Amino acid sequence: MTDEASSEAEANVARLHEILDLRRLEFTAASSETDFFIGHSQYKPDGRVFGGQVLAQCVIAAAATLPSDRLIHSLHGYFLRAGDVSEPIEFGVERLRDGRSFSARRVHAYQKGAPILSLSASFQDDQPGLSHAEQMPTGLPAPEDCPELLDYIGDEDSPVVSDWLRKRPFEVRPVEPSLHTSGVSDPSIAEQHSWFRASSRFGDDPVLNAAALAYASDFNLLEPVLRHHELTWRTPGLRVASLDHAMWWHHRVRVDDWMLYVQESPAAQGGRGLGYGRIFAQDGTLLATVAQEGMVRVKEVQ
């Protein structure tokens, strides 16, 4: 990595830290069981807020109402409206329950007085218990042997996409050819695999790392739906939008270590497609499981 690329990577990760640094709003709420925070968005060329960003900020907002050692283990959220990167986002956190081992929170993210995301999350103290996990796929190339996603996408071919990817705080290395290029979708590929990590050192804070993994979990999870139907991101008339997102953390994570994202699609129906993913550490530990349903439609081009 050149000095210029290294500086850009560090700046992107620093920007992620900035957007996760929410400010608590100090005013008397209608209910003492609700806490309010405000945050801002990262750049995105189309002007829409990246869904993974809002998920991550909701994790931070909810965690701010809990002891630092009670960490998130699951979330379930619905994307309600497209967000505007030029507008601040307000987060309202409802304290639903605090038990001896578990806590539950509901978070609503608002812009211009309307919710753009509604999310429920559960937190737990670190405890012993039964343990098993799926195994990481074998026989895949190492991350260093896979091209970076930007290598697939030329500035002249797709300047908007490449501009967005250059400002993302994660390095992504697909194992299969990227669907951002034309003519590479293959319905025989039941799974797709990508190595990813923060593009520079991220830090040790377990809450920030969990939130950053939520951010990255929104990368390309609906692509297996496209592969099943021989579509790419360049297919004329393609319309894709995330509808909901669910995630379960199984272990603490370090997002500046290489991780493998294994993604597949169990079903598509009625203009909706379901993506399912598992995130593994490079040593094979299953770190998280993710599911997302999205609107996937191909409109006839006049």
Domains of the chain: 2-125+143-298 (2.40.160.210)
- Would you call 292 a catalytic residue per the annotation? yes
- Considering only residues 3 and 195, tell me which one the structure prediction assigns the higher pLDDT: 195
pLDDT, average across residues 100-129: 97
Give the pLDDT score at 158.
66
Render pLDDT for 262-301 as a digit per residue (tens, 0 to 9): 999 999 999 999 999 999 999 999 999 999 999 999 998 7
Q: What is the pLDDT of residue 165?
A: 84
Confidence class of residue 203 from pLDDT cuts 50, 70 and 90? very high
Confidence band (pLDDT; 50, 70, 90) for 58? very high
Collect contacts of 129-137 with beta carbons under 8 A, ≥24 apart.
133/250, 133/285, 133/286, 134/278, 134/286, 135/284, 136/260, 136/262, 136/280, 136/284, 136/286, 137/191, 137/193, 137/260, 137/262
Per the annotation, the verdict on 256 as an active-site residue is: no
Q: Give the tens place of pLDDT for each residue, 181-192.
A: 766 777 778 799
Residue-level pLDDT at 190: 79
For residue 64, the 8-state DSSP code is T
182 is catalytic: no
pLDDT at 21: 98
Q: What does pLDDT average to over the chain?
A: 92
pTM over 0.85: yes
8-19 pLDDT per residue, tens:
999 999 999 999
pLDDT bin (cut points 50, 70, 90) of residue 302 is low
Q: Could you give the CA distance from residue 215 to residue 234 in angstroms, rounded to a whole number?
A: 24
* pLDDT range class, residue 211, cuts 50, 70, 90: very high
Share of the chain above pLDDT 70, in %: 94
Q: Which of 42, 194, 217, 292 is catalytic?
A: 292
Catalytic residue among 35, 218, 244, 256: 218
pLDDT interval class at 154 (50, 70, 90): low
Among candidate residues 185, 199, 242, 265, the one labeled active-site is 242
Q: Give the DSSP letter string of 156-195.
A: TT-HHHHHHHHTSSEEEEESSPPTTSTT---TT--EEEEE
Q: pLDDT value at position 162?
A: 79
The reported pLDDT for the residue numbered 300 is: 80
pLDDT at 182: 66
Which pLDDT belongs to residue 32? 61
